[in-house]
Amino acid sequence: MPRELIGAPEGGALRFGIVVSRFNRSITAPLLAGALEALATHGVHDDDIVVAHVPGAFEIPFAAQALARSGRYQALVCLGAVVRGETPHFDYICGEVARGVGRVVAEYRIPAAFGVLTTDTIEQALARAGEGHGNKGYEAAVTAIEMAQLARLLG
Ligand code: INI
């Protein structure tokens, strides 16, 4: 049988950095609440969580890089909401934030969960930021825990 490596969904004794953007706050506030709920449910202590607030999704990689560089966190959770408007801004922002977070992961070898919603409408975003398990912030935080644990197993 092959040896299988799966990160346990146990967050005790791990530290997490969350980056959340304010743009479309009606979406990002419930994403943050969902992420904090998931971390608490999986045993992460408040003292082991830092939340960095940035103006918009474009600024997420900057804060994520600073948190990664500190070496204090076992994983990051990036939360934002980019809603398609009438301008090409949407495509630029989505591309930059995804590439930027990916660069942080590669450069600092730290897992980062991508909880940045990219939707056509606010309604679509709201549907992904509701209560409980449909909340993408919650899902991103659970992903961060699993990946932090997997990183330990991978060494
Ligand atoms: N930022 C978002 O997080 N979501 C958006 O939908 C958005 N739109 O549509 O423009 C947005 N723009 C701001 C951007 O992220 C930067 O904060 C801004 O350009 C300053 O650098």
Domain spans of the chain?
61-75+90-120+129-155
Residues with CB under 6 A from ligand 1: 21, 23-24, 55-59, 80-83, 85, 89, 93
**pLDDT digits 0-9 by tens, 66-95:** 999 999 999 999 999 999 986 788 999 999
Kindly state the percentage of the chain with pLDDT values over 70.
99
- Does 141 score more than 90 pLDDT? yes
Q: How many CA atoms lie within 13 A of 4 on its CB side?
A: 3
SS3 73: coil
3-state DSSP assignment of residue 131: coil
Q: Looking at residues 93-104, what average pLDDT do you find?
A: 97
Helix and strand counts by DSSP (H, E) for the chain: 5, 4
pLDDT higher than threshold 90 for residue 133: no
Tell me the CATH class for 61-75+90-120+129-155: alpha beta
Q: Taking 70 as the threshold, does the pLDDT of residue 54 lie above it?
A: yes
Report CA(68)–ligand 1 centroid distance (Å).
22
Averaged pLDDT of the chain: 96
Share of the chain above pLDDT 90, in %: 94
For the chain, helix, strand, coil in percent to 5 are: 55, 20, 30
The atom of ligand 1 lying closest to the CA of 28 is: 3
